[in-house]
Structure 1
């Protein structure tokens, strides 16, 4: 069971061997060893280094750098800002009763922090998706891994997701920065048939697609939340816009904020966006086993999906029924203001869980 109040277990070794870069410093017994001098909040570095401290018998104990940091040093900043750890530790709620489908570029199958949470997968880039192999869903772009780890990274390597015990279902609908509508529709159909609770979509277009709108309505009618990114404005000026499927009424459209709870410069601004979440300088796994920074409403969407997994799991723990409409109302009625932008709603897990 995950508990972020404790230090990650260190990997003790008898010695690092000649092939490792030895940092010849002795640390006081019991002190958490910083990773290669990295200050809290910086990206993780030095995971291939070895460190040592003296034990009570004045003997050197060697530690691999990949497990040196306290888990709180590796938390995405939004987890701290939104006080997600209070939900994990105060309620023992880790999303363990929720199923989340992620429609994206697949996931890094070599990253155990993600892979250990994956319960099902399909690629919709091949002729017969029913014959999907693990290699078919491998992420070679990084976007899907980033979103999947924000939702459900398992706290084994270098980070923890927002709902670190939810079940992940991976639908590969793209191999790069764009996706075909028919692949998204097929991914939604598979997610419905798999009976997930949440569908997270960090892709979209400016064109209405009637078939996509219809299948999203079908998902919602079967009590599945559909959460989608409102889109990114790379001109940093023409903000009054947005993308489908986030613009469809039945979708929860998500915009992005920065670490000061202000509207992120990359986020579109329009009247349809239902909720905002962290989406600037967000660290999560991409193609490596250390977190990397990305910006975008994609990241904000994954974070909202993770929080909604906690909400649904909590309802089930309490044996309380829930509806898509009810959860949308929870998000809408229990929020913090986006600083400097009147009327915009920043997701507030603290206020939401106080009502459950």
Structure 2
């Protein structure tokens, strides 16, 4: 039985872009697979000789995952279906599969490669086929990630209203050493971001265009920690296919992937991760009136900052 105060939460995504053939809209090709433009732009391939995110465990609280996708089948570990605990967290929407692909796809010859191709995805299905969830299921998903000792919690969704129980779950995860990454939202607001990205314990992510500018749809402001690629991002889709989506959800997945690269090299606390990412972005951002502004995600700079922690 659900409580009356148990509000609905929606995924942070903009209008989907029709997918082109598998080989379209990629910037480069390597022997182990193709590299989508966002993975290329943040410089992840430059880091793979040092870190591929090996054995870092990422909980993706979303719509589930396509277990049969050839680029993901080697990246998936156990998860949970909070909508029906008797079945696996199969994706019936596509969003969760897309997020997982950006984080940890391991396409070998004809597929795609994610930011951290040796990270491990734990799918946590809290959202239904329409991309909607109850906040109580999201809280249960966060608690499940903590109980299963995952390293990173990716939350590519947002809500406008404050929820104290959600904040308590986030704080519990934070104090248990879990790095929480969430999308800022797609309303184009200039001074406000969605929850849970608004909580100070969370790494808050805005979206960039292919030209490296803040995407018009992305929420922004002082509560953003870092910006990452979020426009027409090419990633895995249902039925072993590929699709483009735009949104701060996609940007969040890039950041989770880079954090996996960082943690595979060095054990760090959530605050150390957040501080390193902010310092990394500072070196790329402009200043206005002496104020700090968040900048672009860059894997090489993030790894360097991590080693200085």
In which range does the TM-score fall when normalised by the shorter chain?
0.7 to 0.9
Q: For the structure 1 residues 328 and 147, does the alpha-carbon distance in structure 2 shift closer, same or farther, using more than 3 Å as the test?
A: same
Residue in 1 aligned with 2:65?
107
Query: What do the CA deviations read for 1:319-344 (whole angstroms, capped 9, x no partner)?
Result: xx421111111001112536899823
The answer (yes or no) to whether the contact 2:222–2:293 under 8 Å persists in 1 is no
Question: 2:264 & 2:23 partners in 1: Cα distance?
Answer: 36
Out of 85, 109, 112, the residue aligned to residue 45 of structure 2 is 85
Q: For structure 1, which runs of at least 5 residues remain unmatched after alignment?
A: 1-41, 48-68, 316-320
2:301 is the counterpart of 1:351: yes
The answer (yes or no) to whether the contact 1:71–1:158 under 8 Å persists in 2 is no
Residue in 2 aligned with 1:18?
none
Question: 2:239 & 2:285 partners in 1: Cα distance?
Answer: 32
The answer (yes or no) to whether the contact 2:205–2:248 under 8 Å persists in 1 is yes
Residue in 2 aligned with 1:120?
78
Residue in 1 aligned with 2:211?
260
Query: What do the CA deviations read for 1:241-277 (whole angstroms, capped 9, x no partner)?
Result: 3211111111111100011110011101222111110
The answer (yes or no) to whether the contact 2:33–2:107 under 8 Å persists in 1 is no
Shift of 1:109: 1.9
TM-score scaled by structure 1?
0.73
The answer (yes or no) to whether the contact 1:266–1:295 under 8 Å persists in 2 is no
Out of 166, 169, 176, the residue aligned to residue 122 of structure 2 is 169
Shift of 1:345: 1.5
Residue in 2 aligned with 1:154?
106
The answer (yes or no) to whether the contact 1:257–1:338 under 8 Å persists in 2 is no
Out of 272, 278, 301, the residue aligned to residue 229 of structure 2 is 278
Query: What do the CA deviations read for 1:65-99 (whole angstroms, capped 9, x no partner)?
Result: xxxx655872111222122111102x1x1101311
Q: For structure 2, which runs of at least 5 residues remain unmatched after alignment?
A: 1-18
Question: 2:243 & 2:250 partners in 1: Cα distance?
Answer: 12
- The aligned length equals 278
SS in 1 for 2:99: helix
The answer (yes or no) to whether the contact 1:178–1:203 under 8 Å persists in 2 is no
Q: Which moved more, 1:303-312 or 1:329-338?
A: 329-338
Residue in 1 aligned with 2:176?
222
The answer (yes or no) to whether the contact 2:116–2:257 under 8 Å persists in 1 is yes
What does residue range 281-300 of structure 1 map to in structure 2 within 5 Å?
281-300=232-251
Q: CA RMSD in A?
A: 2.2
Residue in 2 aligned with 1:247?
198
Largest Rg, 1 or 2 = 1
Out of 261, 264, 267, the residue aligned to residue 313 of structure 1 is 264
Residue in 1 aligned with 2:52?
94
Q: For the structure 1 residues 288 and 240, does the alpha-carbon distance in structure 2 shift closer, same or farther, using more than 3 Å as the test?
A: farther
Q: For the structure 1 residues 46 and 310, does the alpha-carbon distance in structure 2 shift closer, same or farther, using more than 3 Å as the test?
A: closer
The answer (yes or no) to whether the contact 1:113–1:149 under 8 Å persists in 2 is yes
